[in-house]
């Protein structure tokens, strides 16, 4: 399937002022240098390729090991290793542009000045449609506290990223008590889209070695994958409720089309696929294909119809005001929370500025259409299929447990027989079944039933 319209589903979307052919993007840092993903996925068919976060200068990252699998995802401490922007512009960007990819450049820095330098180096870069400002990095000017954990530092980094002269998307951390407040600070400083979320702080320890599993040691790592999807969905949901017209990109644990649909319904204009790519490098393309099929099956004419649709009919909750959004933020000229339910850009509320085409001129924003009702019987049928699958899995587990119990029984019998044989050897008696321990006890003296290793 090529992106865009097909089988009656309009897959076009937009994030802030950037028009995209479809809503499935790669997540920063999970697709290598991105061009190698081209061996598995037609990069031009994705909504966009978000590249590994880049700093102004090359950066070595953390010592190995840098990734470790977890029950529902992985934990990493790659530490933002990168070649530096100059090298990326010369060696990596041209290959992406040649493949027709819509490129979003992610940047990071250890100080506001480093953000400004990184952004300045991207100014005028051919083929880059937006800059994703990754604020999940230590701020050396604030006791190495993460930029993303402070509204002021986040705003300062976003402001500095303005040097790129590109639309600014800010990628926020979920490890904060007031995500909406920090999002408001970023918007006030010029971000036209929120990317929600980066990894969740975590740690993995090997109890046998009494040692950290990641080379970053006591600094721990970031958890990603399906385990964090509900966290990301909630972040998107709450920010969409607070900022009905801002661009939102949802990221965290998306591995299937239905995961992407959930994120769109929560309020995302687009999604990024990260950890799933480690299991299957084709994951972003698979998610796109499945989302397309999901929309067709549920008679959704345009993916835009899904965006924020869970908020329809919800009471207006002035979250942004409640969180003091805009207050105390340089340049925060009052980010107005709009009415919840008018959250779909184009469906009322504040209209974003002119649309930039993610891939060449002329792509018009999808027209506002009434939100399609998700077909109840279909949804129920889907639930039934899922439940049947869960039941089948549980049955298989039951059978395996029963088999293992049987095997343990055989093993116990064999051990008892062996014990009996050893006992009779020692006493020179017969090897009658079940008498081993008694006989050993007898050999050790009357009344002393001593346990011995067999
Ligand atoms: C190995 C690895 C490296 C990552 N590197 C970056 C990075 O350089 N910049 C960034 O903003 N996010 C980075 N992330 C976070 C992802 O982009 C994404 O936000 C997070 O993993 C949640 O999405 P997922 O569950 O689909 O992976 C990285 C994640 C992983 C697993």
Give average pLDDT by consecutive 10-residue segment, the chain, 454 residues.
61 98 97 83 97 94 94 94 95 95 97 98 97 95 94 98 98 97 98 98 98 96 98 98 98 98 98 96 97 97 98 65 40 36 32 45 37 42 58 65 76 84 63 34 34 29
Q: How far apart are CA 260 and CA 250, in angstroms?
A: 8
* C-beta contacts of 296-301 below 8 A and 24+ residues apart: 296/7, 296/8, 296/9, 297/378, 298/372, 298/374, 298/375, 298/378, 298/379, 299/372, 299/375, 300/9, 300/372, 300/374, 301/8, 301/9, 301/10, 301/369, 301/372
8 A C-beta contact, residue 311 and residue 248: no
Nearest CA to ligand 1 atom 12: 28
Specify if 431 maps to a domain: yes
- Ligand 1 pocket mutation, candidates 53, 132, 274, criterion most atoms within 8 A of CB: 274
Specify if 5 maps to a domain: no
Specify if 80 maps to a domain: yes
- Ligand 1 pocket mutation, candidates 27, 82, 196, criterion most atoms within 8 A of CB: 27
Of 322, 347, 371, which one is at a domain's C-terminal end?
A: 371
> Catalytic: 137?
yes
Is 68 exposed, middle or buried (CB count within 10 Å of its CB: 0-12, 13-18, 19+)? middle
Residues 290 and 384 in one domain: no
pLDDT at res. 402: 73
Specify if 7 maps to a domain: no
Residues 72 and 153 in one domain: yes
Residues 273 and 410 in one domain: no
Of 371, 402, 434, which one is at a domain's C-terminal end?
A: 371
Ligand 1: which atom is nearest the Cα of residue 229?
25
Residues 281 and 297 in one domain: yes
Specify if 449 maps to a domain: no
Residues 363 and 407 in one domain: no
Residues 79 and 106 in one domain: yes
Around Cβ 417, how many Cβ atoms within 10 Å? 14
Ligand 1: which atom is nearest the Cα of residue 226?
25
CA dist 39 → 36, 136, 273, 326 (Å): 6, 30, 17, 44
Of 312, 347, 371, which one is at a domain's C-terminal end?
A: 371
Residues 293 and 413 in one domain: no
Specify if 8 maps to a domain: no
Residues 188 and 296 in one domain: yes
**Number of domains composing the chain:** 2
- 198 CA to centre of ligand 1 in angstroms: 6
Describe the crossing of helices 436-443 and 376-427 by its angle, rounded to 10 degrees: 40
pTM exceeds cut of 0.85:
no
- What is the maximum alpha-carbon separation in the chain? 97
Specify if 4 maps to a domain: no
- 250 CA to centre of ligand 1 in angstroms: 12
- 237 CA to centre of ligand 1 in angstroms: 20
Nearest to 67, CA basis, from 172, 222, 199: 222
Q: Which domain holds residue 286?
A: 13-371
pLDDT at res. 388: 62
Residues 290 and 328 in one domain: yes
Specify if 260 maps to a domain: yes
pLDDT at res. 33: 74
Question: Catalytic residue among 137, 193, 246, 363, which?
Answer: 137
pLDDT at res. 200: 97
φ and ψ at residue 286, rounded to 5 degrees: -65, -45
Residues 326 and 205 in one domain: yes
Residues 356 and 403 in one domain: no
Ligand 1: which atom is nearest the Cα of residue 29?
5
Q: Tell me the three-class secondary structure of the chain, residue by residue.
A: CCCCCECCEECCEEECCEEECCCEEECCCCCCCCHHHHHCCCHHHCCEEECCCECCCCECCCCCCCEEEECCEEEECCCCCECCHHHHHHHCHHHHHHCCCCEEEEECCCCHHHHHHHHHHHCCCCCEEEEEEECCCEEHHHCCEEHHHCHHHHHHHHHHHHHHCCCEEEEECCCCCCHHHHHHHHHHCCCCEEEECCCEEECCEECCCCEECCCCHHHCEEEECHHHHHHHHHHHHHHHHHCCCCEEEEECCCCCHHHHHHHHHHCCCEEEECCHHHHCCCHHHHHHHHHHHHHHHCCCCEHHHCCCHHHCCCCCCCHHHHCCCCCCCCCCCCCCCCCCCCCCCCCCCCCCCCCEEECECCCCCCCCCCCCCCCHHHHHHHHHHHHHHHHHHHHHHHHHHHHHHHHHHHHHHHHHHHHHHHHHHHHCCCCCCCCHHHHHHHHCCCCCCCCCCC
Specify the CATH number for the domain of residue 80.
Answer: 3.20.20.70
Pocket of ligand 1 (CB under 6 A): 27-30, 52-53, 67, 74, 76, 78, 80, 106, 134, 171, 198-199, 224-225, 228, 251-254, 273-275
Residues 204 and 308 in one domain: yes
Nearest CA to ligand 1 atom 26: 274
- 232 CA to centre of ligand 1 in angstroms: 13
- Ligand 1 pocket mutation, candidates 25, 26, 29, criterion most atoms within 8 A of CB: 29
Q: Going by DSSP bridges, is the β-strand pair 168-172/193-196 parallel, antiparallel, or unpaired?
A: parallel
CA within 13 Å, CB half, 304: 24
């Amino acid at each position: 399937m090529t992106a865009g319209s097909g089988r009656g589903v309009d897959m076009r979307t937009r994030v802030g002022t950037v028009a995209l052919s479809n809503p499935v993007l790669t997540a920063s840092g999970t697709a290598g240098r991105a061009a190698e993903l081209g061996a598995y996925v037609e990069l031009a068919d994705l909504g966009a390729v978000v590249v590994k976060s880049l700093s102004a200068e090359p950066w070595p990252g953390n010592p190995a090991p840098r990734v470790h699998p977890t029950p529902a995802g992985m934990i990493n401490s790659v530490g933002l290793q990168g070649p530096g922007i100059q090298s990326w512009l010369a060696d990596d960007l041209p290959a992406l542009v040649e493949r027709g990819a819509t490129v979003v450049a992610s940047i990071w820095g250890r100080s506001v000045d480093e953000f400004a330098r990184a952004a300045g180096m991207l100014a005028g870069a051919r083929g880059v449609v937006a800059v994703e400002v990754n604020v999940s990095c230590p701020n050396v000017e604030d006791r190495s506290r993460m930029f993303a954990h402070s509204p002021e530092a986040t705003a300062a980094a976003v402001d500095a990223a303005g040097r790129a002269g590109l639309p600014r998307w800010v990628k926020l951390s979920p490890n904060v008590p007031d995500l909406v407040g920090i999002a408001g600070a970023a918007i006030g400083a010029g971000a036209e889209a929120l990317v929600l979320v980066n990894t969740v702080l975590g740690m993995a320890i090997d109890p046998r070695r009494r040692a950290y599993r990641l080379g970053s040691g006591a600094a721990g790592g970031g958890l990603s994958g399906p385990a964090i999807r509900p966290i990301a969905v909630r972040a998107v949901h709450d920010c969409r409720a607070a900022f009905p017209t801002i661009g939102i990109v949802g990221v965290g644990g998306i591995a299937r089309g239905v995961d992407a649909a959930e994120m769109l319904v929560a309020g995302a204009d687009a999604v990024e696929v990260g950890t799933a790519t480690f299991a299957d490098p084709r994951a972003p393309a698979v998610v796109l294909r499945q989302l397309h099929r999901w929309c067709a099956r549920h008679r959704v004419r345009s993916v835009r119809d899904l965006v924020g649709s869970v908020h329809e009919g919800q009471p207006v909750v002035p979250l942004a005001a409640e969180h003091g959004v805009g207050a105390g933020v340089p340049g925060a000229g009052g980010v107005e929370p709009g009415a919840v339910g008018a959250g779909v850009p184009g469906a009322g509320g504040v209209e974003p500025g002119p649309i930039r085409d993610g891939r060449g001129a002329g792509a018009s924003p999808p027209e506002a259409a009434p939100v399609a009702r998700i077909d109840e019987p279909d949804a129920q049928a889907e639930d039934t299929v899922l439940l049947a699958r869960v039941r089948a899995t549980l049955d298989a587990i039951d059978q395996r447990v029963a088999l293992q119990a049987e095997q343990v029984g055989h093993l116990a019998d064999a051990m008892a027989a062996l014990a009996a044989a050893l006992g009779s050897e020692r006493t020179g008696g017969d090897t009658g079944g079940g008498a081993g321990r008694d006989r050993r006890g007898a050999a050790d003296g009357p009344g002393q039933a001593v346990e011995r290793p067999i």
